Amino acid sequence: MKIRSTLVLGSVIKRGMARPIRVEFAGAVYHVTARGNERRSIYRDDQDRRLFLTTVGEMVEQFGVRVQAYCLIPNHYHLVVGTPLGNLSQAVGWLQVTYTVRFNRRHRRSGHLFQGRFKAQVVEADEYARWLVEYVHLNPVRPQRKSEPIPAEQTEVLAQYEWSSHRDYAGLRKKPMAWLCLDWLRYWGTAKADGQREYRQSLARWFTKRAESPWTELRSGLVLGGEQLLAQVRELIGQKQGHDEVRWTAVQQVGALQKQVRKLVQNEPDEIRIWARIHLGRERRVVVAKAFGYRDGSGVTHLLKAIERRAVENNHLAEKLKSLKCAFSSFKS
């Protein structure tokens, strides 16, 4: 897979980081989403929704992308997009600018419609296509509190929801959008009818229970896929010298070291594990406190001071802390 450095992979940049890292994968698949500015609605009525979908169709025609699934929510959208030409940034950028111009013209307004740039995660289709499509399609009926189950009565609500590709996958719509690519039905069944039937059955299993998010398996805020794909992304980012790329690389290195520290002290008493995670792994005290059942970071601070006082007089404890520092230095280097 040839990779070029011009696509937004949106979940990388956290608070305090200025812009999304741009990495582009020719022939890859992405989950793309963008919210309305200040979380406001990006559609005021069904005519706006039809206008957005018409614009998506024009994007497909002009840029040669493949839309595998979509879902429109009042203040954001979801698209699952394949890029045979490796031009997602160009295509989706055009989509948002064009729709904004059309929306503003129709409603006699001006200014931004979307909240910054779109976000995108690269997806390994063979592994995650089913989970991703089903999760995207469940957006209109999932409770706001993600920990709550989807009520059984919402089944019919979803069946009637016009503004996603769910009805197309389920075989409930006579004529899908001409630009919608339904070849992913093969992940549910070889024949079209078999795929639609298995899709309906698979989706029905989500009701009356919590819809587990595929983003729990997102790697490094970038990749919903395997280690090989992530390694390719890391290699490309490592070749770039921008501030955000350097910072992302540093964050990943810190995360790897923290995992090593946790493994190093996994069989030690809690106080030693806490000490190591903070002093060696440089984890935030509030994070460690939560992991060990403390109300806040102050309890952990008191524990650390107590350990340090004891180590002055307790040679065994002092040697233990020293040996951990040495062990940490060896794999850090």
| 196 and 292, same domain (yes or no) | no
| 230 and 297, same domain (yes or no) | no
| 269 and 229, same domain (yes or no) | no
Q: Which of 30-39, 223-232, 293-302 has the highest mean pLDDT?
A: 30-39
| 285 and 186, same domain (yes or no) | no
Determine the pLDDT at residue 255: 59
Confidence check: pLDDT of 235 > 80: no
Give, as one character, the DSSP assignment of residue 111: S
Cβ density class 284-318: b for 16+ within 10 Å, e for less: ebeebbeeeebeebeebeebbeebeeebeeeeebe
Write down which residue in 239, 270, 299 finishes a domain. 239
Q: Which helix (H) or strand (E) holds 228?
A: helix 227-239
Total domains in the chain come to 2
Look over the chain and give the mean of its residue pLDDT values, rounded to a whole number. 84
| 31 and 17, same domain (yes or no) | yes
Instruction: Specify whether the CB–CB gap between 126 and 229 falls below 8 A.
Output: no
What is the rounded distance in angstroms from the CA atom of residue 61 to the CA atom of residue 204? 34
Q: Specify the higher pLDDT residue, 55 or 268.
A: 55
Domain with residue 54: its CATH number is 3.30.70.1290
| 22 and 144, same domain (yes or no) | yes
119-123 and 223-224 beta bridge pairing:
parallel
Write down which residue in 209, 239, 269 finishes a domain. 239
Rounded-to-10 torsion of CA 14, 20, 25, 28: 60
| 289 and 326, same domain (yes or no) | yes
Q: What is the DSSP string of 139-193?
A: TTTS-SSTTSPBPTTHHHHHHT--SBSHHHHTT--SS--TTB--GGGGGT-SSHH
Region for 78 from its dihedrals, namely left if φ exceeds 0, alpha if ψ lies in -120 to 50, beta otherwise: beta
| 142 and 42, same domain (yes or no) | yes
What is the rounded distance in angstroms from the CA atom of residue 75 to the CA atom of residue 55? 17
Write down which residue in 239, 272, 297 finishes a domain. 239
Determine the pLDDT at residue 117: 84
Full domain range(s) for residue 297: 243-332
| 60 and 178, same domain (yes or no) | yes
What is the rounded distance in angstroms from the CA atom of residue 56 to the CA atom of residue 181? 12
Residues above pLDDT 70, as percent of the chain: 83
| 162 and 285, same domain (yes or no) | no
Q: Specify the higher pLDDT residue, 16 or 222.
A: 222
Question: pTM higher than 0.75, yes or no?
Answer: no
Determine the pLDDT at residue 250: 44
Q: Specify the higher pLDDT residue, 57 or 280.
A: 57
| 175 and 261, same domain (yes or no) | no
Tell me what the mean pLDDT of segment 12-26 comes to.
Answer: 52
Instruction: Specify whether the CB–CB gap between 85 and 4 falls below 8 A.
Output: no
Tell me what the mean pLDDT of segment 187-212 comes to.
Answer: 94
| 23 and 119, same domain (yes or no) | yes
